[in-house]
Structure 1
Amino acid sequence: MIRHQIRPALVLLLAQGMLVPAALAETSDAADPSQPPAAGPYAPVAGPEGMGSGEHGEPEGPDRFALELFGDARGSGNSIDALFALARIKQETGEYREALSAWEQALDLVREQHGRWDQRNVTALAGIGASYRGLDDYQEALEHYGQAVYVNRMNQGLHDSSQLTYLDRITELHALRSEWQEATQLQEYSYYVRQRELGEDAPEILPALYRMAEWYQRTGAILSARGLYERAVEIVEKHYGNDDIRLVEPLQRLAKTYRMERYPPAAAARREEPSFRITSGGPPPDRDLHMQQRHTLNPYGVGERALVRSVRLQLDHPDIETDEQVEALVELGDWYLLFDKWNQAMATYGQARELLRRSGAPEEQVEALFGAPTALVFPIPPAPNPPPWTEGIRTHEGFVDMVYDVTDRGRLRNLDITDAEPEGLLDFRLRRSVRAARFRPRFVDDQPAATEGMQYRHRFVYYTEPRQETARSDDH
């Protein structure tokens, strides 16, 4: 069993060394930057009361009271609160430059009236970071969110959970800049803070554990995600027993990692989207992990047992709705199909249909699940990369239209490209890629049947230079 543990010494070093903005480090009056400033008291004020701001005073989401608060604050002579409210109004309406100006004025007033370490600095700095994020200036946004974290730590402590909101924003910015190592370090530190706060084995840690595991899945660290889901199963069993319905979620998540190992996320179709848009897997998997996985035999039986156990828990639980039980059975049938267990897949699909009919569901509901092929894996090649330069580059939406058949075994056959724009750019790669597609076939009279003439349009973004545009116009 793989266990995931954050090494405290490494995380402590990371926390002390990262996100210490030069702008604050250079002006700090404290002899030791890891300690609160020695001169003067500071009040941990989260921001204007009732502003409707996010956790710890950071502006986020709609604020229906902002206009009233702005008027009240201005009328009372509280310039800082008035500027906070004004900045929030501008931010909500997408006027990021005006919001930035208001946040900066508020920050100046806070520092003049209360000093550089008052907690209201955190609110203003985070607001500035959010404004720069809205202006797509990720570097400035990172710098100001980093300053917000630094001041917050000086007031609340190195491992206080109040910083997590801002760390989430910084993680997002690193991801937008494709700085996956930095983003992962922040995610791991946030999880470590939650562990310190809630306990490693407490049931309350499960949401943070799932969040960390989802990040690992997004970044291709499937084995690390699997270790966390195994830990989640242990936590639920320890506190609630081996037959508790709360085991369903970690068991399903655990099984999914085995499916992802065989069919990486870039190949997994979104089942809820009929156009088969592809689930984003985030950045490419880490090379070392990818090599490790190539030499690791996928223990199919472990994932199967986890999924079977989750299905049994749902079938045996009196409070689980029939629709949820059917969905669990269909998911298990899909698993069997993808792992080439044809007989088990057909038997499980049959059990799902029988359960639906026994519950009195209309035949239309059965048809919705089994009346047409459903894409389980539909590999799509990546879109063309943008050029390294941006001057004069134009963005276009291209497409490739295809027609294909799905066999009664769920395989794609007789693929034909019927139209493409631009012709020849993605046709060959798409044709080669989708040959590996897997479907749940349609059923006629409860028997799998072939389907002919399936249509799909794949859309993608591509780039041209002005001279290419001229050449294309001349050709037409």
Structure 2
Amino acid sequence: MSAFRNIKLLRLCLAILCLPVAAAGQSAPDAMTTLDSADTPANISRYEALISDLESRYGAYHVDLSETLVGLGRAYQEKGDYAAAVSALQRSLHINRVNNGLYDSGQLPILSLLIEANKARRDWQALDQNYHYRYWITRRAYGEKDPRQLPALYDAAHWHLDAYYGGVDEYPLPHLLKAYDLYTRAVRILEANGGPDNPDLVTPLYATARTLYEMRQLAANFFAGEKTGISEDNRTGFNERTTDSENQLYAIVGNTFREGKQALERAIAIYRNHPELPAEERAAALVHLGDWHLLYDKTGKALDNYHEVYSIAGSEEGLLKKIDGLFSEPRSIPVLRLPDNGQPQQSPVDKDANVNYVIASFNVSETGRPFNIHILEAKPANDASMRRQARQDIRGTRFRPRFEKGQPVASTNVNFRYVFPGTLQ
């Protein structure tokens, strides 16, 4: 073991001697730091020289090549050459597998860099594969019920929602089904570690309900299209599902209201069983249940939930002000937060500078329905068909109505930015 360690140190020293910027006696980590701080073109040249030297001395699969290729990939990313970055990072990943096996957790930072490059290149197929491979490795490393896998799980689930909103595939239904599976898996993991009343369950329960609602919308659009003769070009994937297992998934779509309601009621129960949690979060959970009823045209039930929210506040002025804020203006629903893992909760559709959108002004009734829709601004500006589609989609959007003195009221001149889905292709 001592001889092997000495040989490895000798190899590192020889590699360092190949770097013009490395001072005599500088350690390998110091050399890498120097490379990281150098100008990008020179940085790339030095990494390439180091890689060439390592290959000539120790062969094409030496373990040290993996880390050096990561450095090269990062340098290419800084330069904006994402194709070259992907090439270097994929080779790094392969060398890591050859030396350490398919399940080695040392692949995780490489995959994170690959995911960044895939996004920059809009390579959605590779992005999908790398999100799931990263999650698979994390699962193998920590075990089926270990909560440390949750960040990678949530990243993969969020990707599928982003892919659905962005229309990256011809048939978007599988993305919703995969997101649903991952969020429900998160629920099971948290139950196994903290019990059925674990407060950490709230956000994956919300995410499950949100995904169920998107399934319902997709199903509604598909069947509406079928009635008007649109079946082959429906862009949903419903007509592609014929196996028994796929038919079982039809039941999920058909029961979205019931399952989503159960998830939201469970979140409310968790807050009820944990009085130490913020009262405004319990109030928000009741608001979400009211929104859910409103989305499914159960207006009476929705109003019952909304009024119950005010009963939580009682005479507590600070809490009452926060609740008033939930009803201060019409809000498109559902407004269900996702487990954000410390990251901004924003779809790539909204982050993309090239998205198509409209800004509309309209009124909202006391039951949350928009009417008198006027397009104020649009991109592209003169596309009449997109304006028609925007009006149709906004008309189909449900809004939580504004409240005054604890009662829903109509609102006028509501401004709303609508981003067209399917702009990631």
Please give the alpha-carbon distance, in whole angstroms, between the structure 1 residues aligned to 2:156 and 2:387: 38
- The corresponding residue for 2:387 is 427
Deviation at 1:285, TM superposition (A): 7.7
Give the match for residue 300 of structure 1: 257
- Segment drifting more, 365-374 vs 226-235: 226-235
The alignment's TM-score, normalised by the length of structure 2, stands at: 0.72
Note the residue ranges of structure 2 that are not aligned, 5 or more in a row.
14-18, 165-174, 222-233, 336-347, 421-425
TM-superposed CA distance for 1:97, in Å, is 2.7
d(CA) in 1 for partners of 2:379, 2:134: 45
Give the direction of change, closer, same or farther, for the CA distance of 1:41–1:303 in structure 2 (3 Å limit).
farther
- Aligned pairs (5 A) from 1:169-188: 169-188=113-132
Name the aligned partner's letter for residue 280 of structure 2: D
Match of 1:437, SS state, is coil
In structure 1, C-alpha distance between the alignment counterparts of 2:104 and 2:275, rounded to whole Å? 42
Shift of 1:368: 1.7
What residue ranges of structure 1 are gaps of 5+ in the alignment?
1-38, 49-69, 268-283, 387-394, 461-476
The answer for the alignment partner of 2:32 in structure 1 is: 84
Distance 1:305 1:326 in 2: 17
Alignment of 1:458-473 (within 5 A): none
Tell me if structure 1 keeps the 8 A contact 2:104–2:137: yes
**CA distance, structure 1, for counterparts of residue 9 and residue 292 of structure 2:** 52
- 435-444 vs 119-128, which moves further: 119-128
User: In the aligned structure 2, how far is the partner of 1:290 from the partner of 1:406?
Assistant: 38
How far 1:400 moved relative to its partner? 4.9
Paired letter, 1:89: S
Residue of structure 1 equivalent to 2:45: 101
Corresponding residue number in structure 2 for 1:440:
400
The C-alpha deviation readout for 1:444-472, integer Å capped at 9, x for no partner, is 12111001122346689xxxxxxxxxxxx
Which of 360, 372, 376 lines up with 1:402 in the alignment?
360
What secondary structure, in the 3-state scheme, does the structure 1 residue paired with 2:366 have? coil
The CA distance in 2 between the partners of 1:165 and 1:183, in whole Å, is 15
Residue 190 of structure 1 corresponds to 134
The number of aligned residues is: 364
| Distance in 1, Cα, partners of 2:65 & 2:27 | 14
1:180 CA drift (Å): 3.2
Instruction: Rate the CA distance shift 1:413–1:256 in 2: closer, same or farther, 3 A.
Output: same
Task: Give the one of 222, 235, 245 matched to 2:189.
Answer: 235
CA positional deviation for 1:200: 1.7
Secondary structure of the 1:161 match is: coil
Question: Are the aligned partners of 1:44 and 1:155 in contact in 2 as well (CA < 8 Å)?
Answer: no
2:288 pairs with one of 324, 331, 350? 331
| Offset at residue 263 of structure 1 (A) | 4.0
Q: Indicate which of 381, 393, 416 corresponds to 2:374.
A: 416
Q: Rate the CA distance shift 1:429–1:254 in 2: closer, same or farther, 3 A.
A: closer
The 8 Å contact of residues 280 and 322 in structure 2, kept in 1 or not, is answered as no
Determine if contact 1:219/1:285 at 8 Å carries over to the other structure. Answer: no
- Hey, what does 1:7 align to over in structure 2? none
Q: 2:299 aligns with which of 315, 326, 342?
A: 342
Q: Distance in 1 between matches of 2:379 and 2:104?
A: 53
RMSD over equivalenced CA pairs, Å? 4.0
Structure 1 residues 272-314: Cα deviation after superposition (integer angstroms, max 9, x where no partner): xxxxxxxxxxxx9874698667894243211211110111111
In structure 2, relative to structure 1, the CA distance for the partners of 1:451 and 1:254 (3 Å cut) is same
Question: What is the alpha-carbon distance in structure 2 between the residues aligned to residue 119 and residue 209 of structure 1?
Answer: 28
**Higher mean displacement: 107-116 or 296-305:** 107-116
Which among 152, 165, 174 is matched to residue 109 of structure 2?
165
Q: Percent identity?
A: 29
* Among 346, 367, 374, the residue aligned to 2:331: 374
Q: CA deviation at 1:440?
A: 0.8
Aligned equivalents of 2:275, 2:9: Cα separation in 1: 49
Return 447-456 or 422-431, whichever deviates more: 422-431
**TM-score under structure 1 length normalisation:** 0.65
SS at match of 1:443: strand
